[in-house]
Chain A
Amino acid sequence: MFANYMLPTWIAASFLALAAGAIGYFTVIRRSVFAAHALPLSAFPGGAAAVLTGIDPMIGLLGFAFLGVVFVQQSSRLGPKDLAIGLLLSSFLALGALLLSLTGAYAPAVYALLFGEVLGIPHRELLPTAAVSLLVLAVTVLSFRPLLLQSAAADLATICGINRAGMEWLFLGLLAIVTATALPVVGTLLVFTLLVAPAAAAQRLSAHPARAFLISIALAELLVWSAIALSYWSNWPLGFFVGTLGAVLFVVLRGGGLLPSPSGIRARLSRRETSWHHGAGPNSGTRPDG
């Protein structure tokens, strides 16, 4: 499992998880789940173009990821944000499909681009991957407080003099970089689970911002390592393990909260109504079904 040819994968994946866990933390706080799903898909034609023209995949992926950032950032001008993002991501995917059909790329190449590949990082990409991941982590840590305030309460951040659009660009830019770097390993369709699942679970585990941030990174490492190990042993695709283990992680650490009983939903809804109309009790800090 730790054979020579596997070493780059282990090292690269560890660095990637650092960056993914860090930016995923803010993705979940901002509830930018759909955007985090759309960005990898918008990077997809970049990967396809790299197959077609033979350029460095990293350049193609980054270029299209940033194009996706521009569209996502401006998408609210095109109408309801969800609708605009949905249409843009299908358009990018369709463009990728066209490029792949033009190359006549054989099936395993298409598959690797979509669902990832354990050996997706060649030796020469190791240093850039590590550097980019560390850079993203450093920027995230240095802008931690403004980004946190802006993500948690955009209105209050504006009053504090934090530039809203600037923060959005910063967040989406970092997200695009992480996406493009992680895509060759985890795959277009599953990068986003790596971003969201550990961070969502971490949110449930701690209300302390710095602690939740570190837990998110730790869980991302755990997810990636176990996915690589299982993929190595079973010879099954990496994407399968990232997707399913991500869901398992989320469900288990939420204490089964993903599957509430119907009565639980009803109780929660009715409690929300009461608190809306009359204000909740003086110390409603604990929720029985939390």
Chain B
Amino acid sequence: MPSSSTPAPTEPLLQIENLGVRLGGRQVLEGLDLSLESGVLCGLIGENGAGKTTLLRSILGLQRIASGTIRLAGGSVGKARDLVGYVPQKIAFDPQLPLRTRDLVELGLSGRHFGLPWRRRRYQAATKAALAAVGAEHFADQRLGRLSGGQQQRAVIAHALVREPRLLLLDEPLANLDFRSTTSLVQLLGTLVREHGLTVLVTAHDMNPLLPVLDRLVYLVGGRAATGTVDEVVRPDVLSGLYGYPVTVLRHHGRFLVLPDAPDGPGEMRHAGTELPPPSPREEA
């Protein structure tokens, strides 16, 4: 990346102020503020339909925003596109697709360029580095469609990293992963932040797997958000205010469970089956 775009140390990499987004007449995001410095791993936690993907798309400049501003490294979103890497939610490559992991990663750098591959050597060096960064060397020469879900995800992360972004967005990367893949992916995200100085914004409907590496948390409910460290946000008073009705936060071996208050008072559970996510005030498909 050009060094001129490096912001002053005080300036945050991503600054969102009073963001509002409307989709089809519905307020999806409302009055959202977020400020992320370099080298921070931020979790974007919320249920389906809470506005997580919409927020990511807004940062990518793919979503028209109704109000507020989003600034990336002090510039507007459109100009700073190269600063952002994105890993979309549903990744499923065709088993027959004639593309190896290595090729997909290289296309992250070369995919935009028409013409003959003059800069092949430079591409290959960057590809090798990106593959190493995500630990994908051992399946670099395999067909994408034949990899496991976790491996495909690593391939796409390497595809995003090869352009050397400063901010990496991941949309529900932990969905559909088994325990082991989840743990290793969370470790990978931690490494990217600590050792490569990346800023990572990752969405999830369950915060618990991310807790070991999480620096910051944005808790989204129905388009509104509470922001801060885990201890600042995951508290009964903060979340009750967000949900608009009283909730209980249970803590067990360093994990959290957020539950709506039982009618007879907090902490008293009648049924074993109440371990449901709290009902959202705006239910949507």
Contact = CB atoms under 8 A, between A and B. Distances in A.
B274 interface: no
Main secondary structure of the interface of B (DSSP, over half): loop
Contact of B147 (A145, A284, A290): A284
Given A155-B88, A156-B88, A146 B114 contact: yes
A284 B146 contact: yes
Contacts, number: 104
A208 interface: yes
B111 interface: yes
Interface in A207-256: 207-209, 212
A93 to B, nearest CB: 30
Contact of A204 (B96, B150, B181): B96
Contact of B111 (A160, A279, A290): A160
Contacts of A29: 97-98
Interface string B145-164: 01111100000100110010
Contacts of B147: 284-285
Contact of A207 (B98, B107, B150, B160): B98
A143 interface: yes
B146 A152 contact: no
A282 B112 contact: no
B76 to A, nearest CB: 15
A158 B81 CA distance: 11
B115 A208 contact: no
A279 B96 contact: no
Contacts of B141: 207
A177 B62 CA distance: 33
A149 B100 CA distance: 12
Nearest to B99: A152
B98 A202 contact: yes
Contact of B181 (A141, A143, A279): A279
B139 interface: yes
- In the complex, which range does the number of interface residues on chain B fall in? 35 or more
A145 B159 contact: no
A152 B148 contact: no
A206 interface: yes
Nearest to A279: B178
B86 interface: yes
A276 B176 contact: yes
B98 A203 contact: yes
Contact of B113 (A31, A145, A202, A209): A145
A290 to B, nearest CB: 8
Contacts of A279: 148-150, 176-178, 181
Interface in B133-148: 138-139, 141-143, 146-148
A158 B108 CA distance: 11
B59 to A, nearest CB: 11
A150 B107 CA distance: 10
A157 interface: yes
B1 interface: no
B47 interface: no
B98 A142 contact: no
Contact of B100 (A143, A161, A207): A207
Nearest to B90: A155
Nearest to A278: B178
A148 interface: yes
B73 interface: no
A287 B97 CA distance: 15
Contacts of A153: 93, 104
A54 interface: no
Contacts of A284: 146-148
A148 B143 CA distance: 15
B60 interface: yes
Given A207-B100, A279-B176, A157 B146 contact: no
A276 B177 CA distance: 9
B177 to A, nearest CB: 5
Interface string A111-149: 000000000000000000000000000000111011011
A287 B96 CA distance: 12
A165 interface: no
A160 B60 CA distance: 11
Contacts of A202: 98
A78 interface: no
Nearest to B107: A149
A203 B96 contact: yes
A281 interface: yes
A209 B99 contact: yes
Given A149-B107, A279-B177, A156 B112 contact: no
19 contacts: A29-B97, A31-B94, A143-B114, A145-B107, A145-B111, A145-B117, A146-B114, A148-B99, A152-B104, A160-B108, A160-B163, A162-B112, A202-B98, A207-B143, A275-B149, A279-B177, A279-B181, A284-B148, A285-B142
Interface of B: 60, 62, 81, 86, 88, 93-100, 103-104, 107-108, 110-117, 138-139, 141-143, 146-150, 156, 159-160, 163, 176-178, 180-181
For the complex of A and B, the 6 pairs showing the least CB-CB separation, nearest first, are A149-B111, A280-B148, A212-B98, A279-B178, A149-B107, A207-B143
